[in-house]
Structure 1
Amino acid sequence: MPPTLDDTVAQRPQALSAEINGETILMSMDSSLYIGLQATSRDIWHRLATPVTVRDLCNSLSEAYGAPLPQVEADTLAFLSHLEQRGLIHYTG
């Protein structure tokens, strides 16, 4: 199920990450797939180290990057859905 603004989300403990040459590499132990993150996506990943509502995450990203909130929400929900499909995040209540 795709995330909503009211969901609380966090990194899954089983997700592995490493910093290599300015890029964050994520690997899911469940799927053995990995993805590389740069810039904003890396920032989002680090913000998911502790549980946060998607709404609060989007608000803080909009403020940090000076981007329009509706665009940040759409992009962030799509990215979170991508991470969730790969078993890298989970919803926490």
Structure 2
Amino acid sequence: MPEPLDGGVTVVHRPGVAFVDGEERAVLLDLDRLARPPVVLEGSGQLMWGRLATPLTVDALVEDVADHYGETVETVRPAVLAFVADLLERDLLARS
């Protein structure tokens, strides 16, 4: 069972995940599990992936996304939590 995800959790790219960050999308490939298809991130997903190149708390990521899109943290928090939880479950992000 995964650990609960809250705003104080710090996450970062997992070593072993290769990615190409283009103008319109980022493509992620888990080099430890090559049978898995690549993951394509666009829009806010690409933005969040870029922010997580260095360790960042979920709360800080929520604030970054809210600032970038001119939204409130309450508005973006559910989507950011879902994104981080999904990439943790896929083992593309690591808790640090």
RMSD over aligned Cα atoms: 1.5
Of 23, 26, 35, which residue of structure 1 is paired with 2:25? 23
**Between Structure 1 and Structure 2, how many residues are aligned?**
92
**Identity rate, percent:** 28
Q: TM-score, normalised by structure 2?
A: 0.86
Q: What is the rounded CA distance, in whole Å, between the counterparts of 1:20 and 1:61 in structure 2? A: 19
Aligned amino acid, residue 76 of structure 2? V
The runs of 4+ residues in structure 1 deviating greater than 3 Å are: none
Q: In the superposition, relative to structure 1, how do residues 66 and 29 fare at CA in structure 2: closer, same or farther (>3 Å)?
A: same
Task: Flag the structure with more relative contact order, 1 or 2, with Cα contacts below 8 A and sequence separation at least 6.
Answer: 1
Where do 5+ consecutive residues of structure 1 fail to align? none
Tell me the residue number matched to 1:74.
78
Aligned amino acid, residue 19 of structure 1? D
Q: What is the rounded CA distance, in whole Å, between the counterparts of 2:11 and 2:44 in structure 1? A: 17
Q: What is the rounded CA distance, in whole Å, between the counterparts of 2:67 and 2:24 in structure 1? A: 23
Q: In the superposition, relative to structure 1, how do residues 26 and 69 fare at CA in structure 2: closer, same or farther (>3 Å)?
A: same
